[in-house]
Amino acid sequence: MCGIVGAIAERNVVEILLEGLRRLEYRGYDSAGVALLSNNGDYSQVRRTGKVNELANAIDAKNGMGNVGIAHTRWATHGGVTENNAHPHVSKDRISVVHNGIIENYQALREELKAQGYSIDTDTDTETIAHTVHSLLATSGSLLAAVQNAVKKFHGAYGTVVMDREDPSRLIVARSGSPLVIGLGIGENFIASDQMALLPVTRRFIYLEEGDVAEITRREVKIYDAYGQPVERGVVESNINHDAGDKGGYRHYMLKEIYEQPTVVRNGLQGRINDSGLVSGIFGEGADELLAKVKHVQIIACGTSYHAGMTARYWLEQYANVSCNVEIASEFRYRKSVVHPNSLLLTISQSGETADTLAALRLAKELGYMASLTVCNVESSSLVRESDMAFMTKAGAEIGVASTKAFTTQLTAFLLLTIALGEKNGMSAADKEMILSGLHSLPSKIEETLTLAKSIEVLAEEFSDKNHSLFLGRGEQYPIAMEGALKLKEISYIHAEAYASGELKHGPLALIDEKMPVIVVAPNNELLEKLKSNVEEVRARGGIMYVFADKNANFKSDETMRVINVPNCNEAIAPIVYTLPLQLLSYYVALIKGTDVDQPRNLAKSVTVE
């Protein structure tokens, strides 16, 4: 979601900025812009709606030169998707800014600024940052001080970079609520909302902390904390190897990532389990002692990660005898909640920058949770840095907006956590053995299940003219049905709802007709007979069903029901295995509908605004 790149160098920085934007492009956005300033004071600015290529095509020798510059991909929160609303925003032909986040009090600031004679020319909240900094410049004595004074006036979230047309020797950056990372070069320095953007120019990074304001020149980086005191922040060497342009021969990143699942799940298990159980210390230093005391788990997440958390709850209560609540981060953070004794706060996020989840973690620290653990895919992320314990999912860079391998590796992590907590809370030897053997077989089961792709591709044809669909599951397959529905709506734009199948008769049965396909997830577990009754309820009302079922579940295809047999697997790993055909179904339906699979409309990866 929304990308920032900035650079200050002796060389022309335009290509560094554009490449940085391209490397963030996969996250989804609606418009892009760049402002460039040369050492001789020449300034140019280009903004376009649409893709970075549109912006790059609009840049030529005349407007494409600068030794310092700022660039942005926008995911509109305030004001429509227009060139005029695209960043950078400029005040009085002098101060240019790019911004990620939301300035919540922008209306009040606008009134204040209008009274001071500033004209408001865009519909964005961001414009008020530029004018506020400009208005404070004369009295503050320096650009740094003007930004430090300005941020005191902002409510909400920002990662922002400020450039003064009269001073090509520095950029000022500020962070509160939206991530920013400084990239260190030799005689040149950089700034971005994600290190990915800067990997072609540096591997050395400084992560700004909440409330930090920094002054970046070619040779120096000076950082001040929220109280204006100079602070040192550590330099981190990144060993990430990420070629954002590589689809590995697949048509879409999403398909590539679906097929990477056997490998990344295997990587995630390697060195973490052996024949008799978990390798000690896999949740980090000191974690074993902390986890031994846990009596309750509060899970906080959004979107797909929330579905992983819901699945984890079934496992933790069923096998580990640990009570567990799961809540959407944006709800949790704005309500009063009760903290149980010896509670673990467990956050889940692919990017580790999900704004609501991060805010919930910060809130939880004040509420008195015993400890926090995050299950995350990005080692350098805020969630990993701010949690007591971190478990890395090792899924590798996920580029497709619709999460696939991040989800299945999160689920794998939760089976490990189930064993870790269960061992201290009376888990039966049989359950432990069942989960362990399931985990050992998981990579090959995933591989086997992906061979269903051809038949699912054929099946997808039947969805191309549908506008609505219903997903059903029971027990730990209910969150899998929810995840299947989310995938379908995200990338094929078909309205999809998921229900715990026992809920059918409490409302959704009213919707059933031949125009509304019903997708059923039916492994061979103790709830099978109950599920079969629910299937009959749908059949009796003329519904058309697509049933993903274990062969031994004895479903038979007929004129109202298509059965797709999923490879037989043990109960513990079934939610992971049954996720795969649903991912493939949504992918192939999207392909038939011709949507932008990797960057679906209106959505973005790494949701850094609340």
Options 43-51, 93-101, 252-260, 393-401: segment touching ligand GLU (CB under 6 A): 93-101
Active site residue 2: yes
Q: Using CA atoms, how far apart are residues 208 and 536, in angstroms rounded to an integer?
A: 57
Which residue among 22, 23, 47, 74 contacts ligand GLU (CB under 6 A)? 74
Closest to ligand GLU by CB, 106 vs 578, is 106
Q: x-or-dash pattern for ligand GLU, window 107-126, by CB under 6 A?
A: -----------------xxx
Q: Find the shortest distance in angstroms from Cβ 448 to ligand GLU.
A: 42
Surface-to-core class of residue 538, CB atoms within 10 Å of its CB (0-12 exposed, 13-18 middle, 19+ buried):
buried
Q: Using CA atoms, how far apart are residues 292 and 51, in angstroms rounded to an integer?
A: 50
Which residue among 6, 33, 64, 101 contacts ligand GLU (CB under 6 A)? 101
Write down the catalytic residue from 2, 302, 376, 569.
Answer: 2
Q: Using CA atoms, how far apart are residues 516 and 560, in angstroms rounded to an integer?
A: 12
Chain position whose Cβ is nearest to ligand GLU: 2
Q: Using CA atoms, how far apart are residues 147 and 458, in angstroms rounded to an integer?
A: 57
Residue 565: φ, ψ to 5°: -80, 125
Binding flag, residue 404, ligand GLU (CB under 6 A): no
Q: Using CA atoms, how far apart are residues 405 and 105, in angstroms rounded to an integer?
A: 38
The set of residues, in sequence order, having a beta carbon less than 8 Å from that of 123 and lying 6+ positions away, is 78, 79, 80, 82, 85
Write down the catalytic residue from 51, 256, 532, 605.
Answer: 605
Q: Using CA atoms, how far apart are residues 233 and 219, in angstroms rounded to an integer?
A: 16
User: Using alpha carbons only, what angle is made at residue 533 by residues 526 and 576, rounded to the nearest 5 degrees?
Assistant: 45
Q: Find the shortest distance in angstroms from Cβ 82 to ligand GLU.
A: 10
Q: Which of residues 486-505 bind ligand GLU (CB under 6 A)?
A: none
Number of Cβ within 10 Å of residue 532's Cβ equals 18
Q: Find the shortest distance in angstroms from Cβ 592 to ligand GLU.
A: 31
Q: Find the shortest distance in angstroms from Cβ 19 to ligand GLU.
A: 19
Number of Cβ within 10 Å of residue 429's Cβ equals 7
Q: Find the shortest distance in angstroms from Cβ 109 to ligand GLU.
A: 13
Q: Find the shortest distance in angstroms from Cβ 4 to ligand GLU.
A: 8
Binding flag, residue 413, ligand GLU (CB under 6 A): no
Closest to ligand GLU by CB, 99 vs 307, is 99
Options 73-81, 230-238, 291-299, 452-460: segment touching ligand GLU (CB under 6 A): 73-81
Q: Which of residues 145-164 bind ligand GLU (CB under 6 A)?
A: none
Number of residues that bind ligand GLU (CB under 6 A): 15
Active site residue 605: yes
Q: Find the shortest distance in angstroms from Cβ 200 to ligand GLU.
A: 23
Beta 389-392 vs 371-376: how paired, if at all?
parallel
Binding flag, residue 76, ligand GLU (CB under 6 A): yes
Q: Using CA atoms, how far apart are residues 460 and 437, in angstroms rounded to an integer?
A: 33
Question: How distant, in Å, are the alpha carbons of 106, 288, 343, 591 from that of 368?
Answer: 33, 20, 9, 48
Q: In what order do the strands lie in the sheet with 296-301?
A: 323-328, 296-301, 343-349, 371-376, 389-392
Surface-to-core class of residue 493, CB atoms within 10 Å of its CB (0-12 exposed, 13-18 middle, 19+ buried):
middle
Binding flag, residue 131, ligand GLU (CB under 6 A): no
Closest to ligand GLU by CB, 74 vs 170, is 74
Binding flag, residue 2, ligand GLU (CB under 6 A): yes
Catalytic residues: 2, 605
Give the residues lining the site for ligand GLU (CB under 6 A): 2, 74-79, 99-102, 124-126, 609
